[in-house]
Amino acid sequence: MLLGYPISELALLALWIVAAGVLVGILAGLFGIGGGAIIVPVLYEVFRVLGVPEDVRIQACIGTSLAIIVPTTVRSYLGHKKKGSVIPEVVRIWALPAIAGVAIGSLTASFAPAFVFKTAFLVFVSFIAIRMLFGGERWKLASLVGVSGGAISNAVLTLYGRPMHQAVGTSAGVGVPITIAGTIGYMLAGWAHMAQLPPFSVGYVSLVGLVLMAPVSSYTTSYGVRLAHWLPRRKLEIAFGVFLILVALRFAASMI
């Protein structure tokens, strides 16, 4: 037993987190996203097994996910910047508004129903997936919802005609201030709920999840970056669209 939990159960959960970290890192480098769409569902099941109450579980997943993807997003950004696929003007313009949005989100996400966020996310990723798979300049983006910064910036840049490789690299750059500010925000937002959260948590951020997944996902990001610059633009768009469909299906299943 370790802090009241069976060692065998914790070891199995740790293996799943590490395995997910490998996938998260590759996706971050490939699509310029932090991988939160993968991390959150995995952590949700981990925290469920550990007995984290339902009313704080999704917040803990989001906060821990943001902390985990900080090094992954930084590595992805640096990798794409080295290859010249980052638009620095866009990163500078979007940085402050992105941080402001994260600050608002870290406050509202702690009390808004999870169903609302899942529904908005499902609609958004479905729309962008269709845009990526079928293309066409007739698609316009009227409004955005609070999902991954990489997914949003990636979609906007491609909708405005930027090459997919530039969209991916710039998305990673925008994701850096989002993940850092979000981590701090969720630490503060969850401070009053420490007694309900997993062991070794700081607010809504689980240090156990951070220590286990972050190094693995950060290390594997470079492989995703190489793959992104190896694939032709259209194949990268199709891959991104398929990825978003899978994410949408996962969230739809969790709402049943």
Mean pLDDT of 91-98: 82
Count of residues making up the chain: 256
- Alpha-carbon dihedral 138, 144, 149, 152, rounded to 10 degrees: -10
| pLDDT at position 34 | 55
Residues 230, 188: Cα–Cα separation, whole Å? 41
* pLDDT attached to residue 88: 82
Q: What's the half-sphere exposure (Cβ side, CA atoms, 13 Å) at 28?
A: 39
pLDDT of residue 78 exceeding 70, the answer is yes
3-state secondary structure of 19: helix
Least confident window among 74-78, 136-140, 204-208, 243-247: 136-140
SS3 109: coil
Closest CA to 31 of 80, 88, 95: 80
pLDDT above 60 for 147? no
Query: What's residue 37's pLDDT?
Result: 63
Please state the rounded mean pLDDT for residues 6-15: 75
Give whole-number Cα distances, 45 to 25, 29, 40, 213, 254, in Å.
20, 25, 9, 15, 11
**Count of beta carbons in the 10 Å neighbourhood of residue 239:** 19
Report the alpha-carbon distance of residue 61 to residue 46 in Å, rounded.
9
Which of the pair, 30 or 82, is modelled with greater confidence?
A: 82
Q: How much is the average pLDDT of 208-225?
A: 83
Token output for 16: 């799943």
Residue 148 predicted with pLDDT over 50: no
Quick one: pLDDT band at residue 139, thresholds 50, 70, 90? very low
**Cα distance between residue 248 and residue 176, in whole Å:** 24
Q: pTM for this one? A: 0.68
Dihedral sign for Cα 204, 209, 211, 213, please: negative
With beta carbons less than 8 A apart as the criterion, state whether 17 and 46 touch.
yes
**Nearest CA to 35 among 188, 199, 185, 150?**
150
* Tokens standing for residue 53: 């109450």
Select the more confidently predicted residue: 223 or 139.
223
Given a cut of 70, whether residue 47 has pLDDT beyond it is: yes
Give the model's confidence band at 205: pLDDT under 50 very low, under 70 low, under 90 confident, else very high: very high
Tokens of 192: 């009053």
Which amino acid is it at 3? L
